Structure 1
Amino acid sequence: MTDQAIDRVEAEKPAHAKGPLIFRQSIFTRVTHWVWAIAMFFLLLTGLQIWNAHPALYIGQQSGFEFDNSILEIGAENTDAGPRGFTTVFGQKFDTTGVLGMSEVNGRPSFIGFPGWVTIPSTRDLATGRVVHFFFAWVLVGALAVWAIASLASGHLWRDIILKPRDFRELPKDIVDHLVLKFNHGRSYSPLQKIAYFGVFIILFPLIILTGLTMSPGMDAAWPWLLDLFGGRQTARTIHFGAMVLFVLFFVVHILMVILAGPFNELRSMITGYYRASPGTEPDAAKGEKSNG
């Protein structure tokens, strides 16, 4: 081929070549994804409402009266400068006035753990908070059961969630790629994605469900081994709270990655199932040339 022909071929190439449009997410994955998003929203905000009834965490079978086994406490106290909100973590006290322990409602001080704008309901209403929390807890469990059965049947769980030796071999390169914002849009999840989803589906979801059951006296009577498994109801409550914090961190990172990797492509994947892969990815066999549209 002459130099002129080569130049002509290069000039005819698109400036930004598109990869194929592949089918990546099944209907079960998409529906349960959005159900979880709604359920976790209500579980988080009603959970803070419930937690405000006693804004402290302990390790052990019970909260201390003649002894102190708390690891986190949010409250308010009088000082020379007037009432102040505080948060105590492992014995270290921090002034959190205006956010935790003491905040303002209509220009008046409100002495409460988490402010009303992050709880459902926004006013102190433990009964309503518990009803809504338990309803969405069972929605979460039901959606997880549907997803687990569908993922086992389709092979999605083994293929895309369960970690394998090659994921750890490819992990260093994937970390570097993410640090320089180089994202590979392929058929399967990257090692970092698989680690994140493995942590959520295999560790956090079962953990938050089991610790939630452990806080129920009725479940403790039926399954007393739950108390032994988690070292007491108060420890289970602390683990439950910690799992919630990890879910929030996962959500923040998840949204950030969606924005950086291309929000339109990511949202299309979780709405229609179709995902624009990187150039060089083999198109779906059934779609052929149409997948490049």
Structure 2
Amino acid sequence: MRQLVYRQSIWTRVTHWTWVLCLIFLLMSGLQIFNARPDLYIGQQSGFGFDNSVLRMSAVETPTGPEGQTELFGHQFDTTGVFGVSGPKSDRQFQGFPSALTVPSYRDLATGRVIHFFFAWLLVGTLLLWLVAGLFNGHIRRDLLPKGRDLRALPNDVLSHLRFRFSHGQRYNPLQKLSYFTVIFALLPLMVLTGLTMSPGMDAAWPWLLEIFGGRQTARSLHFAVACLLVLFFLVHIAMVVAAGPINELRSMITGWFRPAADVEVFSEEEK
């Protein structure tokens, strides 16, 4: 049996699970906040005498009763039971997202905002801690920064993943590097900056935020879009963990030790 190798440092493991906790509560409390006004706009303000919406979830009255309707870029969809109108007929919920996906599960904007801001700052603090540790121990340079050979090998790596052929190596494969790098250095910073742009206090202190994102409503729409991309990344990430061997992958992220496949090279500490 192939021997175990040390793959994940304590800093990587602690920050990883802290991010998981933060992102779950940020998503569910964010949906609570979204439900206070379940629509998104482009620009500085929402339209009254004009329509600049890109997404709207609502309940509409029909001859057969209320139905959920979602409008996306002018196209309308019946989303009864999921968005707009959800829950059993005996206890209908008329809100954007169902209460099962929000924290708290009942309508409470104030509590949702408190939870959201707490985990937002915890996420920022954890990201800064990870960044310092990653620069100090070489994790970012060694494991996450895509190099020329990674980009050249990316097409073949994508094809291998589509065929469910995974390389259980000591190092991240090109697709892992690119996806992790994008999430940590693009999506998470964009999420933080768009969140700050929605704060009137931050806009007064840093008015350039409004200029960068084209208005507070545009920042809110981008914030929502990035959240959707993070959810998509999470779902794909979980699927890849299951497909690649959940026991081995979870052991790596809990204990740090990983069992590479027999056909891959194992690197010594000096070679890393």
**TM-score, scaled to structure 2:** 0.95
Segments of structure 2 that go 5 or more residues without pairing to the other structure are none
The SS at the match of 1:98 is coil
- Specify the alignment match of 1:52 in structure 2: 35
Please tell me whether residue 127 in structure 1 is matched to residue 95 in structure 2: no
* CA distance in structure 2 between the partners assigned to 1:283 and 1:97 by the alignment: 53
Alignment counterpart, residue 183 of structure 1, candidates 166, 172, 186: 166
* CA distance in structure 1 between the partners assigned to 2:29 and 2:108 by the alignment: 10
Could you tell me how far 1:236 is from its partner in structure 2?
0.4
- Specify the alignment match of 2:137 in structure 1: 154
* CA distance in structure 2 between the partners assigned to 1:231 and 1:158 by the alignment: 34
Segments of structure 1 that go 5 or more residues without pairing to the other structure are 1-17, 287-293
> What aligned pairs does 1:182-201 form with structure 2 within 5 A after superposition?
182-201=165-184
Alignment counterpart, residue 74 of structure 1, candidates 38, 53, 57: 57
- Specify the alignment match of 1:267 in structure 2: 250
Amino acid across the alignment from 1:148: L
Alignment counterpart, residue 207 of structure 1, candidates 176, 186, 190: 190
8 Å contact kept, 2:169–2:265: no
Flag the 1:156–1:285 CA change in 2: closer, same or farther, 3 A: closer
8 Å contact kept, 1:23–1:284: no
> What aligned pairs does 1:1-293 form with structure 2 within 5 A after superposition?
18-104=1-87, 107-281=90-264, 283=266, 285=268
Flag the 1:74–1:213 CA change in 2: closer, same or farther, 3 A: same
8 Å contact kept, 1:75–1:85: yes
The SS at the match of 2:57 is strand
The structure with the larger Rg is 1
* CA distance in structure 1 between the partners assigned to 2:66 and 2:119 by the alignment: 36
* CA distance in structure 1 between the partners assigned to 2:36 and 2:174 by the alignment: 41
Could you tell me how far 1:167 is from its partner in structure 2?
1.1
CA deviation digits over 1:25-79, x for unaligned, max 9? Answer: 0100000000000010100000000000000011111110000000000001112
Could you tell me how far 1:283 is from its partner in structure 2?
4.9
Flag the 1:175–1:282 CA change in 2: closer, same or farther, 3 A: closer
Flag the 1:20–1:94 CA change in 2: closer, same or farther, 3 A: same
Identity within the alignment, %: 59
Flag the 1:261–1:250 CA change in 2: closer, same or farther, 3 A: same
Amino acid across the alignment from 1:212: G
8 Å contact kept, 1:27–1:273: yes
* CA distance in structure 1 between the partners assigned to 2:20 and 2:266 by the alignment: 30
* CA distance in structure 2 between the partners assigned to 1:166 and 1:58 by the alignment: 41
* CA distance in structure 1 between the partners assigned to 2:80 and 2:263 by the alignment: 55
Could you tell me how far 1:128 is from its partner in structure 2?
0.4
